[in-house]
């Protein structure tokens, strides 16, 4: 085979591999969405999203999962907000204040890489033992603490990757105009603003979908979450409980709940994209 032919062949192989990967991933997505639509849609009633479980809900009687929808929304929103409020300053500190390549920077980044990879059950277990020690029972508060800890590394690492894309020139320019480090940090944030929404989206997705972390710390309740120190239902756990039931009606509702969860995430994704694209006005 001549050299040109060889190169063209490689080109073709690479292209086919990428297309196969694309088809596989799109196919799986359609399969997942299709399955929950097919199995869940018939059970998706107004009652499901507007009411709490009545007596006998888990054996197929009346009620809905409003308790879990609200619980998950509260938990994910508050945790994501807290994780952003804590995570963004950490990344800014590591990228603007700390000298590049210093021990502190390398150590912290390694630390967050490790934290990023720790499974949520470990966070749950640690938070649980902390809660026992502090005398907090399984509650919305416990869940928020756990999920916040779980999502901070996501925010830190995502924002960190974004900040790495900021050209060194930006720092030189704001510094040479006499800006302080804090003013420079604000300019960095302005530069990466569209990307921050992606970080928030990733954190929110992880927060609302987590089961293991909330299992030990948040508990479950059939009541609407009214107080932060009381146990609260969450959607992933509601799906888990209903799916474990042998009754087809209840299993169907599990898929309907999955549909609701997917729909919430879809709305969040769309909102994030809209917000991010509106921020790109002065992008360099």
Partner 1 sequence: MHASTSIQTAETQDLINLSTPHIQIKDLNVTIEGKRILKDINLSIPNNSITSIIGPSGCGKTTLLKTLNRLVDDTKGVEITGSVLVNGEDIYAKDAEVTHIRKKMGLLSQKPFPLPMSIFDNIAYGPRIHGERNKEVLKQIVERQLRNVGLWEEVKDRLESSASRLSIGQQQRLCLARGLAVQPEIILGDESTSALDPISTQTIENLLVELKKDYTIVLVTHILRQARRVSDHIIFVYAGEVVEFGRTEDVLLNPQNEITKQYVKGFIS
The residue ranges that bind partner 1 (CB under 8 A) are 99-102, 167, 169-180, 183, 187, 190-191, 281-284
Which of 24/172 has CB closer to partner 1?
A: 172
Distance of closest approach, residue 104 Cβ to partner 1, in angstroms:
12
Cβ density class 121-156: b for 16+ within 10 Å, e for less: eebbbbbbeebeeeebebbbbbbbbbbbbbbbbbbb
Which of 179/211 has CB closer to partner 1?
A: 179
Distance of closest approach, residue 112 Cβ to partner 1, in angstroms:
20
Distance of alpha carbon 76 from alpha carbon 274, whole angstroms: 20
Distance of closest approach, residue 253 Cβ to partner 1, in angstroms:
48
Region class of 191: left (phi > 0), else alpha (psi between -120 and 50), else beta: alpha
Q: Please say whether the beta carbons of 142 and 217 come within 8 A.
A: yes
Distance of closest approach, residue 270 Cβ to partner 1, in angstroms:
25
Which of 43/191 has CB closer to partner 1?
A: 191
Distance of alpha carbon 65 from alpha carbon 75, whole angstroms: 15
Q: Please say whether the beta carbons of 97 and 165 come within 8 A.
A: no
First to last CA, the chain: 46
What angle separates helix 235-243 from helix 181-209, to the nearest 10 degrees?
20
Distance of alpha carbon 149 from alpha carbon 223, whole angstroms: 26
Distance of closest approach, residue 195 Cβ to partner 1, in angstroms:
12
Which of 57/188 has CB closer to partner 1?
A: 188
Distance of closest approach, residue 131 Cβ to partner 1, in angstroms:
42
Which of 65/162 has CB closer to partner 1?
A: 162
The closest of 209, 265, 205, 267 to 239, measured between CA atoms, is: 209
Which of 117/178 has CB closer to partner 1?
A: 178
Q: Please say whether the beta carbons of 186 and 196 come within 8 A.
A: no
């Amino acid at each position: 085979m001549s050299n040109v032919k060889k190169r063209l062949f490689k080109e073709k192989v690479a292209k086919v591999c990428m297309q196969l990967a694309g088809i596989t991933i799109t196919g799986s997505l359609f399969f997942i969405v299709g399955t929950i639509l097919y199995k869940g849609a018939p059970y998706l009633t107004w009652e499901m999203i507007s009411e709490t479980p009545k007596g006998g809900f888990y054996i197929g009687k009346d009620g809905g999962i409003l308790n879990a929808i609200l619980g998950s929304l509260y938990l994910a929103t508050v945790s994501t907000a807290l994780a952003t409020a804590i995570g963004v300053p950490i990344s800014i500190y590591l990228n603007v204040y700390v000298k590049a390549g210093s021990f502190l920077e390398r150590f912290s980044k390694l630390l967050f890489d490790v934290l990023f990879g720790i499974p949520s059950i470990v966070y749950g277990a640690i938070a649980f033992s902390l809660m026992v020690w502090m005398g907090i029972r399984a509650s919305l508060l416990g869940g928020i603490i756990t999920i916040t800890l779980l999502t901070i590394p996501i925010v830190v690492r995502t924002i960190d990757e974004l900040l790495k894309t900021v050209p060194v020139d930006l720092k030189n320019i704001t510094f040479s105009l006499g800006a302080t480090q804090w003013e420079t940090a604000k300019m960095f944030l302005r530069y990466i603003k569209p990307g921050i929404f992606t970080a928030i989206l990733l954190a929110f997705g992880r927060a609302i979908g987590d089961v293991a972390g909330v299992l030990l710390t948040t508990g479950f309740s059939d009541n609407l979450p009214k107080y932060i120190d009381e146990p609260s239902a969450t959607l992933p756990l509601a799906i888990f409980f209903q799916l474990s039931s042998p009754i087809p009606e209840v299993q169907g509702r599990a898929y309907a709940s999955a549909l609701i969860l997917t729909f919430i995430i879809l709305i969040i994704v769309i909102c994030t994209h809209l917000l991010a694209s509106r921020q790109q006005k002065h992008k360099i």
